[in-house]
Amino acid sequence: MNELALIQRIRALAGAPGARVIEGIGDDCAIYRPRPERDLLFTTDLLIEDTHFRARTHPPDAVGWRALARGLSDVAAMGGEPEFCLLSLALARWTGDRWLERFFRGFLKLARKTRTTLAGGDLTRAARVTCDIVVCGSVPKGKALRRDGARPGDAIYVSGRLGAAALGLKTRRGAAWKKHAYPEPRLAHGLKLRGRATGAIDLSDGLALDLHRLCIASGVSAELDAVPVFHGATIEQALHGGEDYELLYTARKPVPGIRIGVIRRGTPGEVTLAGRVVEPRGWDPFR
Ligand SMILES: [Mg+2]
């Protein structure tokens, strides 16, 4: 297929845009009309062959799904609702029409499920498959959950058990593999935390590293008393594995989720588990 044919195919797969996207794929720009009294959230993510996925390990629909899931997870962590997304995709020599079709099927399955309009993007060629995604979300004015609001005495929570993605990547089987390949962004959970959580972040790089980041942003330390481990995963995978895309958050009053510890004044950024310091080690492409 040539570029024009590809764009027409993607446009057909994407279907009609959502209500607030006045103009979707096809013009020079997409047109989005925001609701009044809303703050807009923007996040961008790269998904690159051999850095974030492997052609032989990951089916094309999982690559598409994960490309969008990463951005949606960021919106969930801010207590937001997704509005639209933009996708720039560089295809490698080895990707044929069938790969692309399946990539978009995975991508758009999650987009439809979460009411995220694919409003535009770009296509090109590169040595490796590269997906650059922009997701726009929204929250009522001033209501975004941030990572700098945790205060001493707040309880720490996660939205689910951890380590599944790391376990799944290793075994490539069962529920753990599904959590790795098709992570479900915790958008509904994020909405429940609006006005209740004091700080929030999504677990993209592992509990140890992401909790360290939340603590640095808030100028506090964290004391963990338990880590909820996914069935079959190790504590190492739960602490440092990354890509679980659960939410990690703090609150003064009880909120839905699994309580795992408490925020302390302490050394900013320090995380302890049962009295021992946990290294802020996790998924880091620069290591
Ligand atoms: Mg994030």
Whose CA is closest to 184, among 201, 160, 207? 160
The SS3 assignment for 209 reads helix
Q: Specify burial of residue 226 (Cβ count, 10 A radius: 0-12, 13-18, 19+).
A: exposed
Ligand 1 centre to CA of 125 (Å) is 28
Ligand 1 centre to CA of 178 (Å) is 20
Ligand 1 centre to CA of 176 (Å) is 21
Residues of the chain with pLDDT under 50: none
Ligand 1 centre to CA of 97 (Å) is 32
Residue type, 203: L
The SS3 assignment for 10 reads helix
pLDDT tens across 237-260, in order? 999 999 999 999 999 999 999 999
Would the pTM of this model clear 0.75, i.e. be above it? Answer: yes
Q: Are 146 and 214 in contact (CB under 8 A)?
A: no
Ligand 1 centre to CA of 245 (Å) is 8
Residue type, 237: Q
Looking at residue 126, its pLDDT comes to 95
Looking at residue 108, its pLDDT comes to 97
Looking at residue 286, its pLDDT comes to 66
Torsion sign over Cα 134, 185, 285, 40: positive
Ligand 1 centre to CA of 3 (Å) is 32
Ligand 1 centre to CA of 204 (Å) is 6
Protein residues with C-beta less than 5 angstroms from the ion ligand 1? 74, 202, 204
Ligand 1 centre to CA of 26 (Å) is 30
Ligand 1 centre to CA of 201 (Å) is 6
Looking at residue 40, its pLDDT comes to 98
Looking at residue 287, its pLDDT comes to 63
Ligand 1 centre to CA of 6 (Å) is 31
Q: How far apart are CA 152 and CA 149, in angstroms?
A: 10
Whose CA is closest to 165, among 219, 237, 223? 237
Ligand 1 centre to CA of 75 (Å) is 8
Residue type, 152: P
pLDDT tens across 82-94, in order? 999 999 999 999 9
Ligand 1 centre to CA of 202 (Å) is 5
Question: For residue 196, what are the contacts with CB-CB under 8 A and spacing of at least 6?
Answer: 251, 253, 255
Ligand 1 centre to CA of 63 (Å) is 18
Q: Are 178 and 251 in contact (CB under 8 A)?
A: no
Ligand 1 centre to CA of 12 (Å) is 31
